[in-house]
Structure 1
Amino acid sequence: MTTQLPAKIGFIGLGNMGRPMAANLARKGGKLVVRDADASRQAGFVQEFGSEDGGSAKAFAEAEVVVTMLPNGRIVRQALIESGIADALPRGSLIIDTSSAEPLLTRELAQDLADRGIGVVDAPVSGGMPKAIDGTLSIMLGADDDALAERAITVLSQMSARIFRTGALGTGHAMKALNNYVLGAGFVAAAEAYVVGEKFGLDPKLMVDVLNASSGRNVSTEAVFPSEVVTRRFRANFTFGLISKDVGIAAELADRLSIETPLLDEVFRALSEGGKELGMGADYSELVRIFERRADITHG
């Protein structure tokens, strides 16, 4: 397995997750050409890290690997094919899609890029901004070719050592969506229990303490409820738009596989309706507020 970084790496998408991931790659010696829909964000990264400006497709002509961190698979396709970048890339180059994208769209993209001699792997991440910053993300790597997977790991390992080889192309994106479904399901269950307890007169902090000392604990009760719900902060660390998108991908995959998933469907409905009511940019922890309102629970 090669351990030497490619001479030039493209990075597309410098948002909340992409920027710290690209920054870690640059700090580890990666020579980057970067692009973002926000020109000022792109220029700021170029200035801080001495990277090459990827404003033109030709700037990617020598990139052996391109990492994408974008909102969904359709935007990944636009950023690579409709932008002209795919035509500019050399044959034998590799796309590493770290976005939360649709598994079947990823496979379609790979088929289209194969005609250009470009390989594709999917490598979505989990852990949020804090872990993107400190380089401890969980990375789920799907690839049809072991050689492509090894090339991808050479780059991905500069952003995190926690890389899980999930199987064929698309399995990484599937795993990411299923992971966030389980996250959402745990939160919805905890939120319902929290509101029932509030209505009955249980102390909110006590409920969370008991859950976390008992078998009902999950990542939401351990992290989200103490910091966001009990404190009533509801900060936008993970928005309705993001989690409902991922849970929707899991629901669509189940449907395409003809698998009945009533709980998955209900969690998707709850998160989607929460986003419509409070705004897709609101933190998904605010779902508790909707449940409280329906239960006639008020807070000063």
Structure 2
Amino acid sequence: MQVGFLGLGTMGFPMAANLVKAGHRVRVWNRSQEPVARLAALGAEPAAAPADAADGAEVLIAMLADDAASRDVLLAQGALDALGKGAVVVNMATVSVAFTRDIAAEHAARSLSYVAAPVLGRVNVAEAGQLNILAAGDVAQLDRVQPLFDVLGQKTWRFGDRPEQAAAVKLAANFMIASAIETMAEASTLAAGHGVAKTAFLEMLTSTIFAAPPYKGYGAAIAEERFEPAGFKLSLGLKDVRLALEAADAVNVPLPFAGVLRDNHLDALAHGEGHLDWAALSRVAERRAAQK
């Protein structure tokens, strides 16, 4: 399959690499050229601009940072205009519900199809091709791109025929991950206040009643204070919490704890920690308890 791939960051690079290794013809673009050169060495075709990556593509995958980057690359830099009629765009990044609805309408006006398919999993999961893919869109188009999803993930979860449904699911999931990080931070700080080692406390919890990937992965990072290099930056966690609040506001769903999470993320950013891994949110609870 002829695939265009936009965005070769922490997650995008291993995803594009897996498509190349699976034998797909992949033309790649990124703002910085270093990952493009590395993928070209694996057999990908480099593109000088987003429109070049889109030209001739049957499927165009976007894995860009946020709404603004997606809008700029897809619209302002001409990626959509370069696609032939009948092509499908698969946005696998975490973006807002409102943006997803708007960009899907832009695609329809151009006789293009749009599928939302954000992913669950950190970089090591992406490298192994074991992502969980949260998809929504036209059933025929989902079926069309399923062979690509089979390369990238261990399972594709379908949530409806409107792309914004997948965006809502991803934001709800990331809200839960942020909540897990915050809960572990507060609970381990409580235990530490009574002289219990955080490593022992978190190892016990994540090996027993909370033995799930987000708890085990972020719990180990909190216990070891392993915040660099960031697998997922804390600043991006704030972006996702804000998007969850925005999506909730649009349908009159109160998310009181999300407000707490937003403020704690802002505390972390105010202390210059936005570049650290999301697990560094734990420092907020430690500071408030005078343990740092």
TM-score category of the 2 structures, normalised to the smaller one: over 0.9
Whether contact under 8 Å (1:67, 1:98) holds in the other structure is: yes
Q: Which residue of 1 aligns with 2:149?
A: 156
Evaluate the alpha carbon distance shift between residue 17 and residue 135 of structure 1 in structure 2; reply closer, same or farther with a 3 A threshold: same
Whether contact under 8 Å (1:92, 1:118) holds in the other structure is: yes
Q: d(CA) in 1 for partners of 2:53 and 2:255?
A: 45
Q: 2:219 aligns with which of 209, 218, 225?
A: 225
**2:101 equivalent to 1:139:** no
Q: 1:290 aligns with which of 262, 265, 284?
A: 284
Q: d(CA) in 2 for partners of 1:105 and 1:258?
A: 18
| TM-score for both structures, normalised by structure 2 | 0.92
- SS of residue in 1 equivalent to 2:157: strand
Whether contact under 8 Å (1:72, 1:99) holds in the other structure is: yes
Whether contact under 8 Å (2:178, 2:237) holds in the other structure is: yes
**2:256 equivalent to 1:256:** no
Evaluate the alpha carbon distance shift between residue 179 and residue 128 of structure 1 in structure 2; reply closer, same or farther with a 3 A threshold: same
Gaps of at least 5 residues in structure 2 are none
Cα distance per residue 1:45-98 (max 9 Å; x no partner): 223324242436245321111000001122112111111121111001100000
Gaps of at least 5 residues in structure 1 are 1-5
**2:269 equivalent to 1:275:** yes
Q: d(CA) in 2 for partners of 1:192 and 1:219?
A: 19
Q: Which residue of 1 aligns with 2:197?
A: 203
Q: d(CA) in 1 for partners of 2:197 and 2:82?
A: 60
- SS of residue in 1 equivalent to 2:34: helix
Q: Which residue of 2 aligns with 1:3?
A: none
- SS of residue in 2 equivalent to 1:234: coil
Shift of 1:217: 5.7
Cα distance per residue 1:154-194 (max 9 Å; x no partner): 22222123110011211111111111111111111111111
Evaluate the alpha carbon distance shift between residue 56 and residue 238 of structure 1 in structure 2; reply closer, same or farther with a 3 A threshold: closer
Evaluate the alpha carbon distance shift between residue 56 and residue 146 of structure 1 in structure 2; reply closer, same or farther with a 3 A threshold: closer
Shift of 1:137: 0.3
Q: 1:19 aligns with which of 13, 19, 29?
A: 13
Q: d(CA) in 1 for partners of 2:210 and 2:58?
A: 47
Aligned length in residues: 290
Q: d(CA) in 1 for partners of 2:227 and 2:34?
A: 28
- SS of residue in 2 equivalent to 1:158: helix
- SS of residue in 2 equivalent to 1:23: helix
Shift of 1:244: 1.5
Q: Which residue of 2 aligns with 1:191?
A: 185
2:9 maps to amino acid: G
Shift of 1:240: 0.8
Q: 2:164 aligns with which of 170, 173, 197?
A: 170
Give the alignment's Cα RMSD to 1 decimal: 1.9
Q: 1:68 aligns with which of 62, 66, 71?
A: 62
Shift of 1:246: 1.5
Whether contact under 8 Å (2:10, 2:231) holds in the other structure is: no
Whether contact under 8 Å (1:25, 1:158) holds in the other structure is: yes
Evaluate the alpha carbon distance shift between residue 128 and residue 220 of structure 1 in structure 2; reply closer, same or farther with a 3 A threshold: closer
Whether contact under 8 Å (1:124, 1:173) holds in the other structure is: yes
Shift of 1:40: 2.7
Q: d(CA) in 2 for partners of 1:279 and 1:205?
A: 22
Whether contact under 8 Å (2:181, 2:281) holds in the other structure is: no
- SS of residue in 2 equivalent to 1:170: helix
Evaluate the alpha carbon distance shift between residue 9 and residue 196 of structure 1 in structure 2; reply closer, same or farther with a 3 A threshold: same
Q: d(CA) in 2 for partners of 1:220 and 1:147?
A: 33
Q: d(CA) in 2 for partners of 1:136 and 1:288?
A: 27
Percentage identity across paired residues of the two chains: 27
Q: d(CA) in 2 for partners of 1:52 and 1:39?
A: 9
Whether contact under 8 Å (2:27, 2:44) holds in the other structure is: no
